[in-house]
Structures are given as C-alpha cells and as structure tokens.
Amino acid sequence: MDTKIQSVKDVLQRNIPWVILVVQCIIFAIITDNFFTLRNITNILNQNAFVIVAALGVSLIMMSGSFDISIGQQMSLIGVISGVMITQTGIPLPIIFVIVILLGMALNMINAYVAHKLNLSQFIVSVAAMNIYMGISFTISGGRISDRLDDTVRFLGAGFIGPVPVPVIVAAVFFVIMSIFLTKTYWGRYIYALGGNAESSRLAGISVLGTRMLIAGICGFFVSLSTFLLIGRIGTAQSTLGPGTEFLIITGVLVGGISLRGGEGKLHGVLAGIFIMAIFGNGMQMAGMGVYEQFIVRGFIMILAIAFDYFQYQRRQRLQGMRKRA
C-alpha cells in the first residue's frame, strides 16, 4: 500500500503543472458560468496558440541555461517588416515568409553569438538588444499600422480547418516535432547537457557555440512563426504588437517546470504552464477582473514560480548531500 501511495506522490510531483491546471479549471468552472463551453475553450486555444509556438523556442534557450528577454521586441520588428513587405512591396508571400523566418533566426543568433564571444550572459545582451530592436521597429513603422494583410496570413492566424483553428493545428504539429527532437535526438541531449554544465559539455566534445547557435536559430524560427500567427489573428502589423509577450511566455515556461538554471524540464510541462497563464487571464476576465488586476496576478505567479524553482533546487542539493554522506 505504501508503495502505491509513494508511486502516486511521485507521479503528482513530476506533473505538478498539470495538477495545478486541473485544479484551476475546476475553480473557474465553479465561480464562472461559461468557462467550460466549447466556444470559450476554442477561444483560449486560438488566442494562445502563438504563445505556445514562441514558448517552444524560449524553452530551448532556458533549458540550455540561458535567458533572453528580447523576444517581444523581436516580434515587434519582425511583425513590422512583415507588414511593410506584404502591403508595400508586392513580393510573393512565400518569399516574404522565408525572409521573415531568416530574420528571426538572425536576431536570435546575433544575441547568442555576441554573448558567447564576449563571455557575457545572454540576458545582459538581450537587455541591450531589446532596445535596439524596438528602436528599429518604430523607425521603420513610424508608428503607422499595416492593416491590408494578405488573406493567406489572415487564414494562418484566424482561419479554421473544420472546427479546429489553424493556429492550434500549427502549434500542435510543432509541439510534437519538438518533443521528439528533445527526447529522441543527440541535439536534444546536448541542449540538456549544456544547461546542466557547459564546461563539462565542452570537455565531452560538445560544441558549446554550435549548440547555442542551433538553439538560437530554432528559437528565431518559432518567434517568426509566432509573429505571423499573431498578426494574422489581429489583422494588423504594428510596433506595439509583441512587447510584453516575453514575460507571459517566460512565466508560463517557469510555471511549466523549466529551471532558471537550465538542464531540466519537459515540453509537456511548458504546455501546461502556458495554459495555466491563459486560463488565469480568461477566468479572471470572466469573473469581472480588469486587465491591470491580471498584470498583478501574473507578477505574483512569476515570483512564486521562481521561488518554487529555488526551493526545488535546494531540495535536490540536500538530497545529493545526503546521498554522498551515506
């Protein structure tokens, strides 16, 4: 009996984000009238598909032990350039898509390369980069809005295939691909190893710079794709779209179990973390709470997630110490 109880505890501990998500859904189902309707659930999935896509890339960076807060400003710059090319240049959409994907990859890879070569934290580099990207975005847009987007872009961000929103299909496909990538390939193992100990990874023959550049390129791909989903759903491209999203993504990733120290975490936990943040916003809105109150709650959630990560780290350190003494 004790073994079964311990097994249940182990399962719950490994899936804390999903436990929180279930409890959260039950609470909002009780305190609101229309939470568990098909329309509301579809809205939650549709509105947060672009967040899930971007989180796939951000998760890799954090798993590798790095931290980048310029994602929102990258989305702003990518969105503005996309809008200008779509509405003013006449360049075929497939070519625009390729250019935008390459741009997103370049922005992330520049951050990673500069951080590595100058032996700086990627977080510090991204603080500078976020101002640069935001400045370029507003310089290009001049504060104007691009609202004559291609129908294909609108379909990508707001279309349906049957009853299922296209962004949800896109997010689901890439979630499966990245889950396989992390668990079944050598590169996935390298990412975890790099986050666990970069120097040990180097001594083991893993190219630290090469792996970080790969991670940055993948993250840039997902940031660009996420931006396309966002501007397609909103129907406009402007400099103010994107900034602030990075904190929502990072909080969701932290709640999902990715450690700030890197080297651990699962994408299914990240998915739960993003849904936790999404449902908090949706549920509070349905309960009559305003946007500013939601910001306050999100801030507290981020603090709690960081504190829990620290608690888990200290707990592991104590257990390792006990094993060594034994």
pLDDT digit string, tens, across residues 33-90: 888 888 999 999 999 999 999 999 999 999 998 989 999 999 999 999 999 999 888 8
Count structural domains, the chain.
Answer: 1
Q: What is the CATH number of the domain that holds 30?
A: 1.10.3470
Residue 9 confidence (pLDDT): 66
Residue 266 falls within a domain, yes or no?
no
The residue that leads in pLDDT, 286 or 226, is 226
* Angle of the 71-88 helix axis to the 208-234 helix axis, nearest 10: 60
* Angle of the 93-117 helix axis to the 71-88 helix axis, nearest 10: 150
- Mean model confidence pLDDT for the chain: 89
pLDDT at 281 over 90: no
> Letter for the amino acid at 313?
Y
In angstroms, the CA 5 to CA 110 distance is 50
| Residue 160, helix vs strand vs coil | strand
Residue 56 falls within a domain, yes or no?
yes
Residue 97 falls within a domain, yes or no?
yes
The residue that leads in pLDDT, 292 or 282, is 282
In angstroms, the CA 85 to CA 28 distance is 43
What percent of the chain has a predicted confidence (pLDDT) above 70? 93
Domain that holds residue 58: 20-258+271-325
* Confidence band for 147, pLDDT divided at 50, 70 and 90: confident
Residue 265 falls within a domain, yes or no?
no
Tokens for 152, please give them. Answer: 């294909």
Residue 264 falls within a domain, yes or no?
no
Residue 13 falls within a domain, yes or no?
no
pLDDT digit string, tens, across residues 173-205: 999 999 999 999 999 999 999 988 888 888 889
pLDDT digit string, tens, across residues 1-40: 566 665 666 666 778 889 999 999 999 888 888 888 889 9
Residue 11 falls within a domain, yes or no?
no
Residue 218 falls within a domain, yes or no?
yes
